[in-house]
């Protein structure tokens, strides 16, 4: 019975295998980034970015029609511009990171809506741009896989300065000039992951598999390496279980995966070892020392 439910969907249907491959790549790259986003209080950046890429996609559409490659490239450029500008302003002025990003993404969205309205089409460009995990063609899978590889490599490179910058930025400034480049590299990774994620899988999955696993990990580990490990594991588990759920019921795939992740999250909030509610209510006898 287990085999029927858990393995058969993937052995019988290629689209399920491809979806699983996509979910694995997404989990490996997105979850670690999500952990850093959460720790740096940038959890809402995913939604902001989903809107910020509109002018880029619109210009891509204007130049090349409904060409996904052009629209994605445009979206990447717009995303980078917003992220880098916001990052630079936050570092060189009193403006804090979240407010800086908010201002820039709003400007970007307004520009995007204007372009779309002036051109006169009503197709929801972003609706078309945002893909579906069940429709993984070769090109898209390749992009996601490349994305995951690049992300993991760059993240390994900037891991130390990123950690130090997150916990004690002033200290990093006094011992290294790597703080700003590391930060900008991180922002670039965020944009790439989000835009590629949107294009391949839609906003819900791309952002959801970044942020929810990070939230889950918060309740099980006190150490950043441990958190990243748990985040990746929960993302993989949610992806797999969500696909199975969508196969057995009529729940659409994206929401199914996120619902599984949400279930894990609620479980963590209640029963997590680090700060879970049940632990707080029933701490047990205190220790000797």
Enumerate residues 6+ apart whose C-beta is below 8 A from 246: 252, 253, 256, 257
Size of the site for other proteins (CB under 8 A): 62
Binder among 44, 88, 103, 173 for other proteins (CB under 8 A) = 173
DSSP classification of residue 4: I
At residue 130, the 3 state secondary structure works out as coil
Interaction of residue 175 with other proteins, rule CB under 8 A: yes
Q: For other proteins, which is the closer residue by CB, 82 or 164?
A: 164
Task: Please return the burial class of 175, using the count of CB atoms within 10 Å of its CB with bins 0-12, 13-18 and 19+.
Answer: exposed
Binder among 6, 63, 167, 266 for other proteins (CB under 8 A) = 167
Binder among 98, 150, 176, 237 for other proteins (CB under 8 A) = 176
Counting other chains too, the contacts that 191-194 makes at CB distance below 8 Å and 24 or more residues apart are 191/49, 191/76, 191/79, 191/80, 191/83, 192/76, 192/147, 192/150, 192/151, 193/29, 193/30, 193/33, 193/147, 193/151, 194/46, 194/49, 194/50, 194/79
At residue 146, the 3 state secondary structure works out as helix
Q: How far is the CB of 81 from other proteins (least distance, A)?
A: 25
Interaction of residue 15 with other proteins, rule CB under 8 A: yes
Interaction of residue 224 with other proteins, rule CB under 8 A: yes
Q: Which tokens is 60 given?
A: 């891509």
Interaction of residue 50 with other proteins, rule CB under 8 A: no
Site for other proteins in 199-218 (CB under 8 A): none
CA geometry: angle 229, 32, 252, nearest 5 deg: 95
Interaction of residue 166 with other proteins, rule CB under 8 A: yes
Interaction of residue 181 with other proteins, rule CB under 8 A: no
Q: Decide if 279 contacts 272 (C-beta within 8 A).
A: yes
Site for other proteins in 226-265 (CB under 8 A): 226-227, 243, 246-256
Q: How far is the CB of 253 from other proteins (least distance, A)?
A: 5
Q: How far is the CB of 176 from other proteins (least distance, A)?
A: 6
Using CB under 8 A as the criterion, which residues of the chain lie in contact with other proteins when the complex forms?
9, 12-16, 18-19, 39, 68, 117, 120-124, 127-128, 131-132, 134-137, 140, 157-158, 160-161, 163-164, 166-178, 221-224, 226-227, 243, 246-256
């Amino acid at each position: 019975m287990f085999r029927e439910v858990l393995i058969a969907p993937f052995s019988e249907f290629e689209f399920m295998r491809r979806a699983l491959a996509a979910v694995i790549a997404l989990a490996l790259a997105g979850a670690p980034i999500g952990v850093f986003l959460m720790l740096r209080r940038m959890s809402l950046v995913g939604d902001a970015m989903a809107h910020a890429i509109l002018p880029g996609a619109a210009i891509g559409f204007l130049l090349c029609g409904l060409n996904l490659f052009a629209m994605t490239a445009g979206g990447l450029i717009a995303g980078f511009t917003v992220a880098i500008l916001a990052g630079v302003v936050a570092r060189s002025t009193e403006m804090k990171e979240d407010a800086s990003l908010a201002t820039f993404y709003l400007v970007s969205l307004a520009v995007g809506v204007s372009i779309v309205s002036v051109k006169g089409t009503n197709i929801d460009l972003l609706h078309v741009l945002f893909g579906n995990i069940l429709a993984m063609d070769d090109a898209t899978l390749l992009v996601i896989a490349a994305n995951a590889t690049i992300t993991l490599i760059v993240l390994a490179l900037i891991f130390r300065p990123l950690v130090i910058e997150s916990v004690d930025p002033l200290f990093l400034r006094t011992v290294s000039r790597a703080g700003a480049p590391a930060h900008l590299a991180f922002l670039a990774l965020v944009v790439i992951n989000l835009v590629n994620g949107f294009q391949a899988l839609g906003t819900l999955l791309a952002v959801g598999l970044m942020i929810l696993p990070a939230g889950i990990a918060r309740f099980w580990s006190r150490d950043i390496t441990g958190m990243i490990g748990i985040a990746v594991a929960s993302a993989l588990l949610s992806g797999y279980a969500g696909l199975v759920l969508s196969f057995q019921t009529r729940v659409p795939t994206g929401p199914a995966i996120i619902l599984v992740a949400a279930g894990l999250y609620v479980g963590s909030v209640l029963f997590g070892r680090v700060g879970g509610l049940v632990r707080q209510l029933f701490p047990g006898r205190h220790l000797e020392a």
